[in-house]
Amino acid sequence: MQLTRLTDYGLRVLMYAALTPANRKCRIADVAESFGIPRNNVMKIVNKLANEGFIYTTRGKGGGFQLGKPETEIYIGEVVSCLEENLQIIDCESYCGCPIIPSCRLRRAFSSARVAFLQELDSYTLKDLVGSAAPLRRLLRIASR
Amino acid sequence: MQLTRLTDYGLRVLMYAALTPANRKCRIADVAESFGIPRNNVMKIVNKLANEGFIYTTRGKGGGFQLGKPETEIYIGEVVSCLEENLQIIDCESYCGCPIIPSCRLRRAFSSARVAFLQELDSYTLKDLVGSAAPLRRLLRIASR
């Protein structure tokens, strides 16, 4: 029941942005280097996060990205819902003609479990993930001003 | 955030066993045929379910498998916990030297979301999944006696 790697990267990008002082922009290359993840994947997820309004990007020299809203207003369940391409716990579509679909109660059980999962994640905001910021800034070598 | 196919098969095997009258044994070939899933996968998951005590098997002529305990005492969260080989929502181990591990709060958030997911599934028993039995028996062509 793992999330996709891109969702994971997306959460890291948001944490990085939350840890960066508001007067500075984040650069894709820095995020990729700090976490040791491929630059083109960071670029892909930055675009997706921008489309969803979690960050906004500025092009050109001195460009980069910043949080699109306060870190206390970014709920982790919402982020995961937006980034995961498939929230089906079991992919019924991949069974050609699963015989029990008309009376299947498993889907209902998984649907309510998925809601419980996302609701629990929504009890955390991006602010909760970065905490006091200082320890994570040290680990990621982000200057505090 | 999908479960593995084997977990899915495991739940189907249990539903099939719950739908089969107590005086009859289930055969791997019948389960495989009814759901259109590979026989060796059914065999693999039947062994696992037997090891976990959810079913018991009888070898030899006239052998097969039956539920190891009443369907009202088989909790779906417990089954999923036993069958999923990896319940980590994000696989931190696959990052060689993830830099934020010492101060990561994401793992805590995912850990509590996983608990919420499994707790919700535990509010369903195998009995809830098969309901009145008749509709699923019809779909799977299981005789009612």
Structure confidence by residue, pLDDT tens digits, A36-62 = 999 999 999 999 999 999 999 999 888
| DSSP bridge pairs for B125 | B75
ipTM value, please give it. Answer: 0.90
Count Cβ atoms within 10 A of the Cβ of residue B120 and give its class: 0-12 exposed, 13-18 middle, 19 or more buried. Answer: buried
Provide the CATH number for the domain formed by B5-86+125-140 in this structure: 1.10.10.10
Q: Is residue B94's pLDDT more than 80? A: no
pLDDT reported for residue A144:
87
Place of tokens 């970014």: A74
- Nearest CB to B103: which of A1, A86, A139? A139
Place of tokens 């679909």: A101
pLDDT reported for residue B38:
93
User: How far apart are the C-alpha atoms of A20 and A7, rounded to whole Å?
Assistant: 20
The domain segmentation of chain A, as residue ranges, is 5-140
Q: Is residue B145's pLDDT more than 90? A: no
User: How far apart are the C-alpha atoms of B9 and B41, rounded to whole Å?
Assistant: 8
Round the average pLDDT of chain B to a whole number and report it.
Answer: 92
Which of A111, A105, A122 lies closest to A87 in space, CA to CA? A111
Round the average pLDDT of chain A to a whole number and report it.
Answer: 92
Answer yes or no: do B116 and A120 touch at CB < 8 A. Answer: yes
Contacts of residue B74 in chain A, CB cutoff 8 Å?
none
Answer yes or no: do B117 and A112 touch at CB < 8 A. Answer: no
User: How far apart are the C-alpha atoms of A137 and B88, rounded to whole Å?
Assistant: 25
For A5-140, the fitting CATH number among 2.40.110.10, 1.20.210.10, 1.10.10.10, 2.30.130.10 is: 1.10.10.10
Confidence category of residue A95, pLDDT binned at 50, 70, 90: low
pLDDT reported for residue B144:
86
Structural contact between residues A2 and A89, judged by C-beta atoms closer than 8 angstroms:
no
- Nearest CB to B99: which of A34, A105, A109? A34
Q: Provide the chain B residues 50-69 that lie in CB contact (below 8 A) with chain A.
A: none
Answer yes or no: do B131 and A87 touch at CB < 8 A. Answer: no
Structural contact between residues A79 and A54, judged by C-beta atoms closer than 8 angstroms:
yes
Q: What is the DSSP letter of B62?
A: T
What single letter denotes the amino acid at residue A15? M
User: How far apart are the C-alpha atoms of A47 and A80, rounded to whole Å?
Assistant: 15
Contacts of residue B3 in chain A, CB cutoff 8 Å?
1, 89-90
